[in-house]
Amino acid sequence: MSFTSNLTVAEHHAIRSVGFAPVGQVLGSCVYSIGWTGNWNCGIGYGWGGTGGGWTGRLAGGSGGFAGGGTPAGGIAGGTGGIGWGGMARTVEATGLRDSLYAARGAAMERMQTEAARVGGDGVVAVRLTVAPFEGAGLEFRAIGTAVRADGDVHAKRPFTSDLSGQEFGQLIAAGWVPAALLLGIAVMVRHDDWRAQPGSWTWGNQEVVGYTDLTARARAGARGRLAADTARYGEGATTVVRDMSLRVSRRSCAAGNDAHDHVAEAMVVGTAIVPFRHRRGNAPVPPLPVLRLSGRTP
Amino acid sequence: MTDPATVGLSQDAMTRLAELQPGRPGSIFTSDLTVNEFLLLRQAGFRPLGLVLGTSVYHVGLQVGRWSKNQEMDVLSQAMYHARELAMTRMEAEADVLGADGIVAVRLAVELKEWGSDIAEFLAVGTAVKAEADGNWRNNRNQPFTSDLSGQDFWTLLQTGYAPLGMVMGTCVYHVAHRSLGNVLSNIGQNTELPQFTQALYDARELAMERMQREAESLAAEGIVGVQLSQHNHAWGGHTTEFFAVGTAVRPIRPDHVVPAPQLVLGLER
């Protein structure tokens, strides 16, 4: 049977050399509408102790459930920032928006995984996650990759997902590690702008903006914490190799009015969880061989 | 026909995947490494403990340079240094909590976001590691070592008998004088060096490098490898520039530095 893939020739070779073969390109897509449903709760003007949120999402078509990215349980461990004070504005988590982002990406990955299982794949390599505006109906979340199948007669119950290139996949298998799942850590934090976030208005000097530091530190800590919690589901010795870490910050009008503003920080960490396995058939991992390239220039 | 050994390899991998079970807390870790770096690090005898990170959102003060004077903008230099130091210290504190011997593949970044002018996020990210074997890897301040070397460079450095001590940096924000009208007019249509500009660039680089060197000396380093010298204008316009020098201070871990000759290869890729 012929296969389709977006692998380069070198990637194809690397995958073949560790006993896997490509079976086909697989895709999962989810068009998701993220809506504004009422107040934006930064904890100011709507009482104390708000947990953020107000955004809810809904699936626009499709029925695929959500499993791929893992559902984080509970909130982030508060007080990790190490910066404490009493009183006014504080950083709160927008759990509604966070859950929507998880659900949309999770649905796309789940569908891709289902497609991979249907073509007989044991896993998906080189997964790319993209988000693009969908004309008139929110955002399209898409996951695309190449399904691979083991040459032997042992097969995975459910295909693994990974954003590794073919070469990286080959390297890992040869060294005794197998990818388990592509993981996402997402956190969305909101903070009301108060005097701690407005240094220009009271000083011209060098000054750390503690309010914003707290916001970014908590957003990043939340995303990392969730990634670590998801990695734990893959058992003893599991590790995640992170591919990308990003933070988006935007400024919005506060629902409390009076020309007040909130800052929203959306942190995301993407990586692949890998687990060690033992070679039983005398395929002991080989140590690296230092080489000096004779072709081209080193980058 | 497929090689039976590679079939066995894929079977072993799939068997393991089928046996996955939720693990005990504390036995897992995350890392900001590429696959290549991760495997090399393991091979070198280090275990990643986790991704560590420090951040500081900083308001950079205001300072106006004299129009026709070459000068260091010390307020800005201090801001750029202090903010990075805050981020690095927080990252090191995280690594210390994990009981790390060091932090590898550290990235320093300055990110301008929707905060308003003069405010930037300073970020330090790396992977905390611990040596499998005993040994003292910490530096003379009993802090985990830091290094901005990639996993590949780290592996190679260890092979040559050196170990990283710490990332060292120096910064200098410099205002380059504008040329006087007379100078502009007298040079019209001529190929000529502008010594005032040349001098300014030399002075600023020298200041940044010297500060970096002084940091290395305080760590009792033998030398600095992988120095990167960069210039950033940030949001200060054309005449005010940050010169930033950063590298990894190293110490010898054995007297000889003989390395086996590498294999020569002719790559098939472009």
A223 vs B contacts (CB less than 8 Å): none
B118 vs A contacts (CB less than 8 Å): 200
Q: Does B39 touch chain A (CB under 8 A)?
A: yes
Residue A115 lies in a domain: yes
Residue A129 lies in a domain: yes
A299 vs B contacts (CB less than 8 Å): none
Determine, for residues A200 and B116 on separate chains, whether the beta-carbon distance falls below 8 Å. yes
Q: Taking a C-beta distance cutoff of 8 angstroms, is the pair A73, A31 a contact?
A: no
Q: Taking a C-beta distance cutoff of 8 angstroms, is the pair B240, B175 a contact?
A: yes
Q: What is the pLDDT of residues B175-217, one digit of tens each?
A: 888 877 887 888 888 888 888 888 888 999 999 999 999 999 9
Give the pLDDT confidence score for residue A197 in this predicted structure. 60
Give the pLDDT confidence score for residue A42 in this predicted structure. 67
d(CA A179, CA A276): 9
Give the pLDDT confidence score for residue A50 in this predicted structure. 33
Give the pLDDT confidence score for residue A149 in this predicted structure. 93
Residue A172 lies in a domain: yes
Determine, for residues A281 and B8 on separate chains, whether the beta-carbon distance falls below 8 Å. yes
pLDDT along chain A (299 residues), means of 10: 82 91 93 62 46 36 30 30 44 84 91 94 92 82 93 88 92 90 91 66 71 90 90 83 88 75 88 86 71 67
Q: In chain A, what are the helix, strand and coil shares in percent, each to the nearest 5?
A: 25, 35, 40
Both tokens of B181, joined, read 């009208």
The structural domain count of chain A equals 1
d(CA B100, CA B15): 33
Give the pLDDT confidence score for residue A297 in this predicted structure. 60
Q: What is the pLDDT of residues B87-132, one digit of tens each?
A: 999 999 989 988 899 999 999 998 877 777 778 889 999 999 999 8
For residue B15, pLDDT over 50 is answered with yes
Residue A4 lies in a domain: no
Residue A299 lies in a domain: no
Q: Does A283 touch chain B (CB under 8 A)?
A: yes
Determine, for residues B39 and A172 on separate chains, whether the beta-carbon distance falls below 8 Å. yes
Which are the contacts of A75, defined by CB distance < 8 A and separation ≥ 6? A51, A93, A95
Taken in order of first residue, the domains within chain B and their CATH numbers are: 29-252 (3.30.110.70)
d(CA B32, CA B10): 26
Give the pLDDT confidence score for residue B165 in this predicted structure. 94
Give the pLDDT confidence score for residue A77 in this predicted structure. 29
pTM reported for the whole predicted model: 0.79
Of all residues in chain B, the one with the smallest CA distance to A220 is: B53
Residue A283 lies in a domain: no
Residue A16 lies in a domain: yes
Q: Taking a C-beta distance cutoff of 8 angstroms, is the pair A192, A254 a contact?
A: yes
Q: Count CA within 13 A, CB hemisphere, residue B227.
A: 20
B64 vs A contacts (CB less than 8 Å): none
* Angular region, A82: left φ>0, alpha ψ -120 to 50, beta rest: left
Q: How far is B110 from chain A (nearest CA, A)?
A: 12
Residue A191 lies in a domain: yes
Tell me the Cα Rg of chain A. 23
Q: What average pLDDT does range B147-155 have in this prediction?
A: 89
B29 vs A contacts (CB less than 8 Å): 228, 231, 239-240
Q: What is the pLDDT of residues B22-72, one digit of tens each?
A: 555 555 677 888 888 888 888 889 988 888 999 998 888 777 777 777 888
Helix A166-175 vs helix B35-43: crossing angle, to nearest 10: 20
> What is the average pLDDT score of chain B?
85
CB pairs under 8 A between A and B: 242
Give the pLDDT confidence score for residue A61 in this predicted structure. 32
Of all residues in chain A, the one with the smallest CA distance to B33 is: A241
- Could you say which residues from 161 to 190 on chain A have a Cβ atom under 8 Å away from some Cβ of chain B? 164, 168, 171-175, 177-178, 180
Determine, for residues B17 and A160 on separate chains, whether the beta-carbon distance falls below 8 Å. yes
SS3 labels along chain B: CCCHHHHHHHHHHHHHHHCCCCCCCCCCEEECCCHHHHHHHHHCCEEEEEEEEEEEEEECCCCCCCCCCCEECHHHHHHHHHHHHHHHHHHHHHHHHCCCCEEEEEEEEEECCCCCCCEEEEEEEEEEEEECCCCCCCCCCCCCEECCCCHHHHHHHHHCCEEEEEEEEEEEEEECCCCCHHHHHHCCCCCCCCHHHHHHHHHHHHHHHHHHHHHHHHCCCCEEEEEEEEEECCCCCCCEEEEEEEEEEEEECCCCCCCCCCEEECCCCC
Pair type for strands B145-146 and B102-111: parallel
Q: Does A135 touch chain B (CB under 8 A)?
A: no
Domain, as residue range, for A40: 9-276
Local structure of A65: helix, strand or coil: coil
Q: What amino acid is encoded at A250 in this protein?
A: S
Q: Taking a C-beta distance cutoff of 8 angstroms, is the pair B147, B102 a contact?
A: yes
* Closest Cβ–Cβ partner in B31, B43, B119 for A209: B119
